[in-house]
Structure 1
Amino acid sequence: MINKDVAVLGAGIVGVATALHLQTRGRDVALIDRRGAGEETSFGNAGIIERATIYPYLFPRDWRKLAVYAVNGLNEARYNWRDLPGFAPFLWRYFIESAPRRALDHALSARPLIEACLGEHEKLMRDAGADHLLRKTGWLKLFRNEASFDEGRAAAEAIKPFGLNVAILDAQDVRRAEPALRETVVGAVHYLDPASVSDPQALTLAYLRLFQERGGRFAQGDARSLQADSDGYVVETAEGVLHAREVVLCLGPWSDLALAPFGYKIPLAVKRGYHRHFRPEEGASLSRPVLDADRGYLLAPMARGIRLTTGAEFARRDAKPDYTQIEKSEIFARQLVALGPRVEDEPWMGRRPCLPDMLPVLGAAPRHKGLWFNFGHQHHGLTLAAVCGRLLAEMMTGEKPFADPSPFSIERFA
């Protein structure tokens, strides 16, 4: 039997960063995943370390806009009618948690994590030799009409009291910032504090190499085999049964499967998303991620080309992929930027783990000593990975947490 202090289940960016922080604090850690590191949700995203999103993604309160969503009239969000009954309870609770007072409370809870997110990543990147992956150029949110631009400016103003920096660009400013854009937009908000990475999976793998160089163990195994024993937990791996005094669940959209046998039920939902890379035509390079706010897709410069990412698709976690959203996004994107051939034969599909208050579950299991949680980071798994890894490691090792962890407790769903 393999014996470790801690087993971290899930080797996405959240799990690997958590394992590193525990290791730094003297714990002997095993990292376990059914696949390779960073091959699920962490593989496909916009690559933004979103230092500016204090407010979470909220459920719309405008009934006119909701009516358009209801008929799949906006590209940024899509759902399948067959899946709606299963999503309805989550959507109702999401709507309640997006009320202005609650949204402000959630924003204030998340604020310390957002404020420290980039700094914590930079520390790990330096140690892992991954600094070259980081771009500190912010990101652009483009608007095609004055009404949406007004909304965008208002949203930018709302985050200024938190000490965040934005620049409001007119059409000429946008053209100077990103000369490759072929269509004219009325303006943009340049979020200056965030950074981005050119290859999210490469970052995860760099963190994994650092973990292994420091003596950490990575093994393949199925988290569903997790069981409690007299002095900790056991899980089956390809290298044999592993025993650990403590276990951390960092399983993203599959966390409910590992929680259920221990009697924990949470309102976890999945927002699926798609990406595809394109070789840019000559002169079509971007210097930062660009969100086409009115058409609901994002373009990001990546190591493999320009990555096109979609908004949210509400569907069953394991339902067959529906490429409608990304195919429509590609039509719009080719009008904006001179995209060349597709890199992949088929788009990639991933799953975001979301809770109705758009906050993660982070902390101890109330009824099982030694069982810990770090999942449910919604659209911000990359953003929050390093800082949430630090916060949980502080809790597990008896340090004073740098931020109040109580808003992230699983007990809020009791």
Structure 2
Amino acid sequence: MVLGAGIVGISTAIHLARRGKSVVLLDRRGAGEETSYGNAGLIQREGVFPYGFPHDFGALFRYALNNTIDASYHFRALPSLVPFLARYWWHSGFTQHQRIAHLYAPLIENSIAEHSDLIDASGAGDLIRKDGWMKVFRTEKERDAAYKDAEKLSAGFGVNHQKLSTSELKTIEPSIQVELAGGLRWSDPWSIRDPHSLNKAYLGYFQSLGGRLVSGDAATLEHILEGPGWRVATPEGPLEARQVVVALGPWADTVTRKLGYHFPLAVKRGYHMHYGTKDGAQLNNWVLDEEMGYFLAPMLRGIRLTTGAEFALRDAPKTPVQLTRAERVAREFFPLAERRDEEPWIGARPCTPDMMPIIGKAPRHEGLWFAFGHAHHGMTLGPVTGRALAEAITGEKTVIDLAPYRPDRFLA
């Protein structure tokens, strides 16, 4: 059984089914209906450094005011979030972040190849673009700092980039309405024109391998001493399996805590909305307005605007203030027209304090495996996670070393 039909769960189920296993994918909804549904639609080959917590005083002061687009927080959530944020801040220090990047790099380095495999197998090539994405800058200071960071990343990890002048940006994106100081294109990443459709295509491929998607509540998972080992309730009756993978993203704790595993898992919530365009305007690239902290992506449904991080309790009511702030700025940046969604979409990114996912065998139970905590890179890392975990479950040599992501690094 694989619990959770997001990109990580679907990818794991595919790789287990490829190895001849009888696999059931269980979710309370459909494929990719939760966090995997709403994101910027990027396979971020350049994302070697996971998103850290700023250490400069200016940024911390700006976030403390709680009025920015790229970060927001709920005051009521702070008492429970502060211990996590303190550890997250510590791991984001220069020395720690450098060490984490080198441990994280093997996952990122395999992201394109593993997605390519599943894209070809599922016939989803029409959903993919292979020309990277862009950051654009309003000031020379931010531009020059980003150029220096890009050069270091290219030298250290072989990631390709292209510096773009103001005139080049005007040629590439003539509908942008503000004066820009330049841009930076990461040329290696791929982009996805509709992440939900890609999830469904991968699900169709899984089903073609003999896999099944069933409705059920993962929170009912129980360890049974007799029989195969694990049981979960479904509307059609109990389902049992010898091996179970917890790929529940931000809801992983609904299972792990009942079994005695207390991981320091928090969430960064995010919002998106789709828009039409005015007067035939066209957005040709996936674009981050760097200083403002929001993202625009030309999706099949329209221009998708995505926000940064909202630090809140996972199940707290929606508070899309970041989206409202971002939309106001984005309408000045690009000629957005009508909203195309009835209400803002919200998702919760599952985060660990060291910014790396939890992947591997549960240390205190036979037949229990974990694959969650991918933060901003769930879509990017789903296929490589799925392959590596399936290889571990079946006793093969894994495509990458899973030791840095082992579950017991957080357990006493």
Q: Distance in 2 between matches of 1:86 and 1:154?
A: 37
Give 1:132 deviation, angstroms.
0.5
Question: Which residue of 1 is the match for residue 97 of structure 2?
Answer: 103
Q: What is the 5 A alignment of 1:385-400? A: 385-400=382-397
Q: What is the 5 A alignment of 1:169-208? A: 169-208=164-203
Q: Which amino acid aligns with 2:138?
A: R
Give 1:37 deviation, angstroms.
1.1
Q: Which amino acid aligns with 1:79?
A: Y
Q: Which amino acid aligns with 1:241?
A: P
Q: Is the 8 Å Cα contact of residues 180 and 283 (structure 1) preserved in structure 2?
A: no
Q: Distance in 2 between matches of 1:48 and 1:286?
A: 16
Question: Which residue of 2 is the match for residue 360 of structure 1?
Answer: 357
Gaps of 5+ in 2: none
Instruction: Identify the match of residue 44 of structure 1 among 29, 33, 38.
Output: 38
Matched, 1:380 2:377: yes
What TM-score do you get using the length of structure 1 for normalisation?
0.97
Question: Which residue of 1 is the match for residue 77 of structure 2?
Answer: 83
Question: Which residue of 2 is the match for residue 348 of structure 1?
Answer: 345
Higher mean C-alpha deviation, range 103-112 or range 27-36: 103-112
Higher mean C-alpha deviation, range 66-75 or range 302-311: 66-75
Q: Is the 8 Å Cα contact of residues 167 and 192 (structure 1) preserved in structure 2?
A: yes
SS in 2 for 1:403: coil
Q: Is the 8 Å Cα contact of residues 68 and 322 (structure 2) preserved in structure 1?
A: no
Question: Which residue of 2 is the match for residue 143 of structure 1?
Answer: 137
Q: Is the 8 Å Cα contact of residues 111 and 380 (structure 2) preserved in structure 1?
A: yes
Q: Distance in 2 between matches of 1:9 and 1:121?
A: 21
SS in 2 for 1:261: coil
Q: Distance in 2 between matches of 1:375 and 1:229?
A: 23
Instruction: Identify the match of residue 226 of structure 1 among 216, 221, 225.
Output: 221
Q: Which amino acid aligns with 2:208?
A: E
SS in 2 for 1:150: helix
**Identity %, equivalent residues:** 49
Q: Is the 8 Å Cα contact of residues 133 and 287 (structure 2) preserved in structure 1?
A: yes
Q: Distance in 1 between matches of 2:299 and 2:408?
A: 39
Question: Which residue of 2 is the match for residue 156 of structure 1?
Answer: 150
Q: Distance in 2 between matches of 1:348 and 1:402?
A: 35
What do residues 64-91 of structure 1 show as CA deviations (whole Å, max 9, x unaligned)?
Answer: 2101111124310001222111110010
Q: Distance in 2 between matches of 1:45 and 1:209?
A: 21
Q: Is the 8 Å Cα contact of residues 30 and 217 (structure 1) preserved in structure 2?
A: yes
Matched, 1:213 2:208: yes
Q: Is the 8 Å Cα contact of residues 221 and 232 (structure 2) preserved in structure 1?
A: yes
Give 1:281 deviation, angstroms.
2.3
Higher mean C-alpha deviation, range 279-288 or range 159-168: 279-288
SS in 2 for 1:190: strand
Q: Which amino acid aligns with 2:278?
A: E
Question: Which residue of 2 is the match for residue 3 of structure 1?
Answer: none
SS in 2 for 1:180: coil
Q: Which amino acid aligns with 1:121?
A: H
Instruction: Identify the match of residue 247 of structure 2 among 250, 255, 268.
Output: 250
Q: Which amino acid aligns with 1:363?
A: G
Question: Which residue of 2 is the match for residue 4 of structure 1?
Answer: none
CA RMSD of aligned residues (A): 1.0
Q: Is the 8 Å Cα contact of residues 196 and 288 (structure 1) preserved in structure 2?
A: no
Q: Which amino acid aligns with 2:332?
A: Q
Q: Is the 8 Å Cα contact of residues 41 and 192 (structure 2) preserved in structure 1?
A: yes
What TM-score do you get using the length of structure 2 for normalisation?
0.97
Q: Distance in 2 between matches of 1:365 and 1:212?
A: 27
Question: Which residue of 2 is the match for residue 297 of structure 1?
Answer: 294
Equivalenced residues, count: 408
SS in 2 for 1:401: coil
Give 1:248 deviation, angstroms.
0.2
Q: Distance in 2 between matches of 1:270 and 1:14?
A: 17
Q: Distance in 1 between matches of 2:368 and 2:101?
A: 27
Give 1:256 deviation, angstroms.
1.0
Q: Which amino acid aligns with 1:373?
A: F
Q: Distance in 1 between matches of 2:102 and 2:68?
A: 30
Q: Distance in 2 between matches of 1:185 and 1:283?
A: 22
Q: What is the 5 A alignment of 1:105-120? A: 105-120=99-114
Question: Which residue of 1 is the match for residue 278 of structure 2?
Answer: 281
Question: Which residue of 2 is the match for residue 54 of structure 1?
Answer: 48
Matched, 1:324 2:321: yes
Gaps of 5+ in 1: 1-6
Give 1:307 deviation, angstroms.
0.3
Runs of 4+ in 1 over 4 A off after TM superposition: none
Q: Distance in 2 between matches of 1:250 and 1:282?
A: 44
Question: Which residue of 1 is the match for residue 126 of structure 2?
Answer: 132
What do residues 351-398 of structure 1 show as CA deviations (whole Å, max 9, x unaligned)?
Answer: 100001111000000000110001010001100001110111111111
SS in 1 for 2:106: helix
Question: Which residue of 1 is the match for residue 366 of structure 2?
Answer: 369
Q: Which amino acid aligns with 2:287?
A: V
Give 1:158 deviation, angstroms.
2.2
